[in-house]
Every structure is written in structure tokens, then in C-alpha cells.
Amino acid sequence: MTDEKRDNGAEAPIDEPSDMAAANDSATPDPLAEAQGEAARLKDQLLRALAETENLRRRSQREREDTLKFAATEFAKEMLPVADNLGRALDAIPAGAADLDPALKALQEGVAATARQLEAAFERQGIRRIDPMGQKFDSNLHQAMFEVPGSGQPAGTVVQVLQPGYVLNERLLRAAMVGVAKAEPKAAEAPAAGSGFDTLA
């Protein structure tokens, strides 16, 4: 009976891929594409981290160089009045007076030697004196205290230095205090010859 059912029964269905199976196959992620995407993402993160590290290294290098270049800033500012007072002491000695008094001459030479030594120490630390006499006024380096009329110099020329300025490695420590030439009013032009009325005899 079993054989009859086998012979007379319906044919066994033929397996065919269903639409659902095809959809499942298409939804399955591609492992190679996933790996490539992950590799690209990690490479981007690595490049960003390297760039950030390099920027940090450069910034630290600049800060270290600036620290070395400008470490003496506060000390230099404290020493500038000393340099000023040495200069005032030399200026206070009347011209020719030291030649008449040996003690005064020795004092003058000692103060001058001290001033030179201090100036040399400044230069070794990158501190440079600004003495702008005769130069064009520069608001980045000079502080104008007053204008001087009738100086015979072009307007804006430094004609008097009240206090020298100083820079440390091109960074301003103290502006020079100066007086500048004042612009002179233009003289009224004389009338041209023959342009006026003839005078009666």
C-alpha cells in the first residue's frame, strides 16, 4: 500500500529559491566591505591623532623658545632704571670739570665703565637700546611727549630724547620718550610780479 501511494501519489515538490531567501541573501553584509570601511575609519582617526600630536609638538617648541628668549623680561625691566641713573650721573658732570679734578675724573671713568659693562650684559641677553635721535617717529617704538616748533627738521622727526627705549629680542620693553618736530605753517606766497594794479606816478 505504501508503494501504491508512492506510485499514485502527487509528485514531490521541487525546491526553488523563494523571494524571502533572496532578500535575506541581499541583506547579509559583505564582510570585506565592512573591513575596508573600518580600516578607512581607523586610518582617518590615526591621521587626525598624528596631526594633533604634531601641532602640539610645534606649539610646545614655540613656547619653549619664547620662554628662553624672553625669560629675562622682568629682570631687564628692573634694570632699566639702573641704566638710566648711570646715564644721568654721567650727564650731570659738567663738560671739562673732570679734567680739572682728578677725583671727579676717576668717578666719571668708574661710572662710564659700569654703564658700558651693563650695556654689554644687556646685549648678551638680546636687550638693545633705542636712541632714535634724528629718526622718523615710530609709534611702535617711541612715545611722543611734546612737539618742538621751529626745529628746522621735517615734521615728525625725533629732535629730543628724554629717555631711551629698549627692546628684548625685537619685543618692546620700554618705548623711548621723545619730542618730535612740529609741522611749520607754510609761508604765504608773495603775489607774482605784474599781477597787481599799476601805481599812479
CATH number reported for the structural domain that contains residue 146 in this entry = 2.30.22.10
21 within domain boundaries: no
Model pTM greater than 0.85?
no
Statement to judge: residues 112 and 95 lie in one domain: yes
Burial annotation 77-93 (CB, 10 A radius, 16+ → b, else e): eebbeebeebbebeeeb
* Domain assignment of residue 198, yes or no: no
Q: Give the integer Cα–Cα distance in Å for 161 and 164.
A: 7
Classify residue 91: in a domain, yes or no. yes
Residue 119 and residue 138 share a domain: no
Count of domains for the chain: 3
Tell me whether residue 2 is in a domain.
Answer: no
> Is 153 a domain residue?
yes
Confidence label for 37 from pLDDT (cuts 50, 70 and 90)? confident
Nearest-angstrom CA–CA distance, 99 and 105:
6
Q: Are residues 49 and 83 in the same domain?
A: no
| Residue 192: inside a domain | no
User: Does residue 101 sit in the same domain as residue 135?
Assistant: no
Domain extent at residue 152: 127-184
For the segment 72-117, what is each residue's pLDDT rounded down to a tens digit?
A: 788 889 999 999 999 999 999 998 898 999 999 999 999 999 999 9
State whether 76 and 117 are in the same domain.
Answer: yes
Is residue 29 over pLDDT 80?
Answer: no
Looking at the structure, do residues 59 and 41 belong to the same domain, yes or no?
yes
With a CB cutoff of 8 Å and minimum separation 6, the contacts of 136 are 156, 157, 158
